Structure 1
């Protein structure tokens, strides 16, 4: 019986030793897996992120290029404002130059100068008229009505993109807004001023 017990203990010790070796091997493999994976991916070029994170000699990181932007053309966008009622209403800038396909944003300032709360809305128009089909507003205060307390001042953005399909002969677009009190007779769409002559035009 004693011999049999010693034999069993020896077998258990050998099995325990094997399990310990297997466990250590699995731990070592898991620890080495990440650097091995990175080395394989960099060698094969499969992992684009691993390659992009390296500072390669002579290489600089660049932001993704918006291939929809037509950098060969520049459009001048002019901002015109009109009011029907006691408001202060103006754009932060009177004009800007953008490329077709480029996202641009302009801020507008509003103030209710009355001593009473007023609700108002804006109506847009474009010159030349055909530009309306190519002037895409992603965000605009003209989408909603707004209520301003007496003397309250607010700023709202207009984010827009000009469609690259805009006819080549259109080089200037005038975006005009009329701001009016809700409840009063709705004014007709404003007649935007004609685009300014281009420099050197005959």
Structure 2
């Protein structure tokens, strides 16, 4: 593992392994640590200025979400992302987005609902502009808001834990499903479902958008 430039010093407000997990996950997601690259806990510990124990804990967690793979007493390395992994990640995100939308629609305050509608409008504008990067960013903002509005702490923890893996697996593969008119139709139906607080309809629309209907 070539040691990247020195990071900002870790100032942990919780378990040290959480911060190490985030730092390593970000390095993998942004390909500072590239697919196939070996990771040695002693080098990571020196890089981050921590002991090996929180590094080992962080690497174990990263292995659970598929960002690294280990062979006991042999190696730990960054995993490769193939077409099957991307396809499975897209399927996972589609189902989870639908579930989150269903939970959130019935639980949003009026102010949160208004915010969600504004975020859908931003998604529509990005889609109409045929700006893939902006569409991805606006969609991500929408579902971050929706996730908070589920009021389900278990769901929130699971999605935060999986988030690094999802973002890394979809890096460079952000498919825009459908032509502009089809996307607009689906987003407008989602907007209507939100306004009507129709959780079932909102979930169906999200699944349809992800080709899961």
Category of TM-score, reference length = shorter chain = under 0.3
TM-score by length of 2: 0.22
TM-score, normalising length from structure 1? 0.23
Which structure is higher in strand share?
1
Q: Higher helix fraction: Structure 1 or Structure 2? A: 2
Larger radius of gyration: 1
